[in-house]
């Protein structure tokens, strides 16, 4: 590596900051492990700490190669308040990890040294391999959708998800949830209004179809709108770069100052990136707005998953009415729906950090409230409007 003294000094400062960030994350995981009572979770947190320490040692080795006196490194002081709860702790770790991810993304744009790029690749691989404790250090494609809390939740349940899978899993779960809740409410209300099983079945069936079409259209429009916002932002940022590049270079320099670079270093980084207009655009939208073109979703995929999952959820409460009639059919539908609510609630734990049992009970309670309230309102309607029950 050939570089003058000024560039070498800048590189050393950059690597020292990378080391400091990894040590901060490692100490947070280590302190979290010391607080954790569950042995399995404690072991996972400790392994995550070891990975961050490994990354820190990698930067130490690189600094030694550059002639830096590593004995002068000052470890960050990391302390956790005694009254900090788990959610607050995970939020703090998530903030640190997100900051490190952004920091390394920036380094890729400004450091073209092959050995450093290789280190960044290894760190990316280790971060992605957190997905499964049995193969903790196996590299896989990195995703940017999940935070630390979600990642730990997946680890604690020994679940593996391919890159991007959490998006459609979440869409499917929430689609089933919407269909199940809406149709259970409809058939409960109609059953309270009239005991005619055919009327209840038809009302629920067409309610399911309407919910399916509505959810599909809504998911398509939502994803399409998000894409349009991103495309508009890209277009506006491109236009700003073309019209006033000096202002945008100054703005990018300020963004890097917020990351801890000096004014001189930030200006040099911004000037280097601005040399390539396409790279300049990608960097600006990533640093300023937090997304890139790869973030664009598929409207049709969102529509299909949203619609089909809603249809599945909507048909579940109707199943007993195909084989039974009258009040027994309603009781059976209530039992099936309540069990389905619990299952959907438990499934939500795949994409959240909550206990599957707690999440399942919460959904069950919601389903019962919806069903009872709808039935009572339907019964009140029968009294008010003089429906013939029977």
Q: Distance (Å, rounded) from C-alpha 267 to C-alpha 193?
A: 71
Are 175 and 236 found together in one domain? yes
Are 213 and 333 found together in one domain? yes
What does pLDDT average to in each consecutive run of 10 residues of the chain (390 residues)?
64 86 87 79 79 88 85 82 72 78 79 82 69 34 39 45 48 79 88 84 90 87 83 82 83 73 81 84 75 70 86 90 84 88 81 76 87 87 66
Output DSSP code: residue 130. G
**What pLDDT does residue 74 have?**
84
Tokens read off for 38? 């569950």
204 touches 317 (CB < 8 A): yes
Hey, how many other C-beta atoms are within 10 angstroms of the C-beta on 244?
A: 12
What is residue 76's three-state secondary structure?
Answer: coil
**What pLDDT does residue 4 have?**
58
Q: Which helix (H) or strand (E) holds 142?
A: none
**What pLDDT does residue 168 have?**
57
Q: Distance (Å, rounded) from C-alpha 159 to C-alpha 166?
A: 11
**What pLDDT does residue 162 have?**
37
Q: How many independent structural domains does the chain possess?
A: 2
Q: Distance (Å, rounded) from C-alpha 52 to C-alpha 295?
A: 27
Q: Distance (Å, rounded) from C-alpha 88 to C-alpha 48?
A: 18
Domain C-terminal end among 99, 122, 156: 156
Output DSSP code: residue 259. T
Residue with tokens 């236009």: 239
Longest dimension (CA), the chain: 92
Residue with tokens 């971060």: 127
Are 313 and 187 found together in one domain? yes
Are 123 and 200 found together in one domain? no
Residue with tokens 């400004």: 110
175: left (phi over 0), alpha (psi -120 to 50) or beta: alpha
Hey, how many other C-beta atoms are within 10 angstroms of the C-beta on 144?
A: 14
What is residue 260's three-state secondary structure?
Answer: coil
**What pLDDT does residue 157 have?**
46
**What pLDDT does residue 105 have?**
79
Are 108 and 254 found together in one domain? no
Are 126 and 210 found together in one domain? no
Are 104 and 245 found together in one domain? no
Are 185 and 147 found together in one domain? no
**What pLDDT does residue 171 have?**
67
Are 366 and 234 found together in one domain? yes
- The model's pLDDT over 144-161, given as tens digits with 9 standing for 90+, comes to 334 454 445 544 444 333
Task: For residue 35, give the CATH number of its domain.
Answer: 1.20.1260
**What pLDDT does residue 206 have?**
92
Domain C-terminal end among 123, 156, 189: 156
Are 295 and 330 found together in one domain? yes
pTM of the model: 0.47
Are 248 and 174 found together in one domain? yes
Burial classification of residue 82, based on how many CB atoms lie within 10 Å of its CB (0-12 exposed, 13-18 middle, 19 or more buried): exposed
Are 188 and 274 found together in one domain? yes
Domain C-terminal end among 104, 126, 156: 156
Q: Write out the residue range of the structural domain in which residue 284 sits.
A: 164-390
**What pLDDT does residue 135 have?**
36
Q: Distance (Å, rounded) from C-alpha 57 to C-alpha 9?
A: 20
């Amino acid at each position: 590596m050939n570089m003058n003294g000024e560039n070498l000094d800048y590189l050393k400062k950059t690597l020292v900051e990378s080391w400091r960030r990894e040590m901060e994350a490692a100490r947070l995981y280590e302190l979290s492990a010391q607080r954790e009572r569950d042995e399995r979770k404690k072991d996972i947190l400790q392994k995550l700490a070891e990975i961050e320490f490994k990354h820190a040692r990698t930067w130490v080795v690189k600094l030694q190669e550059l002639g830096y006196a590593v004995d002068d490194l000052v470890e960050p002081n990391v302390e956790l308040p005694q009254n900090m709860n788990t959610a607050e702790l995970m939020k703090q770790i998530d903030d640190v990890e997100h900051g490190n991810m952004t920091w390394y993304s920036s380094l890729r744009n400004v450091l073209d040294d092959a050995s450093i790029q290789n280190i960044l690749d290894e760190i990316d691989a280790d971060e992605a391999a957190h997905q499964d404790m049995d193969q903790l250090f196996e590299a896989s494609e990195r995703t940017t959708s999940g935070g630390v809390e979600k990642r730990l939740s997946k680890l604690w349940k020994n679940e593996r998800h391919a890159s991007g899978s959490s998006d459609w899993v979440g869409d499917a779960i929430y689609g089933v949830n919407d269909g199940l809740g809406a149709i259970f409410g409809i058939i409960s209300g109609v059953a309270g209004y009239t005991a005619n099983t055919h009327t209840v079945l038809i009302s629920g069936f067409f309610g399911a179809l309407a919910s399916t079409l509505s959810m599909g259209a809504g998911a398509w429009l939502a994803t399409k709108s998000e894409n349009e916002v991103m495309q508009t932002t890209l277009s506006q940022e491109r236009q700003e770069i073309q019209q006033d590049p000096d202002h945008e270079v100054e703005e990018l320099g300020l963004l890097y100052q917020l990351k801890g670079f000096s004014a001189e270093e930030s200006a040099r980084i911004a000037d280097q990136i601005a040399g390539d207009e396409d790279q300049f655009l990608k960097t600006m939208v990533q640093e300023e707005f937090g997304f890139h073109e790869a973030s664009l979703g598929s409207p049709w995929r969102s529509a299909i998953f949203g619609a089909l999952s809603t249809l599945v959820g909507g048909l579940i409460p109707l199943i007993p009415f195909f084989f039974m009639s009258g009040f027994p059919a309603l009781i059976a539908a209530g039992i099936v729906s309540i069990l389905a609510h619990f299952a959907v609630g438990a499934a939500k734990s795949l994409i959240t950090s909550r206990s599957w049992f707690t999440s399942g009970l919460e959904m069950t309670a919601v389903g019962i409230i919806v069903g009872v309230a709808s039935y009572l309102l339907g019964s009140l309607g029968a009294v008010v409007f003089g429906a013939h029950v029977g």
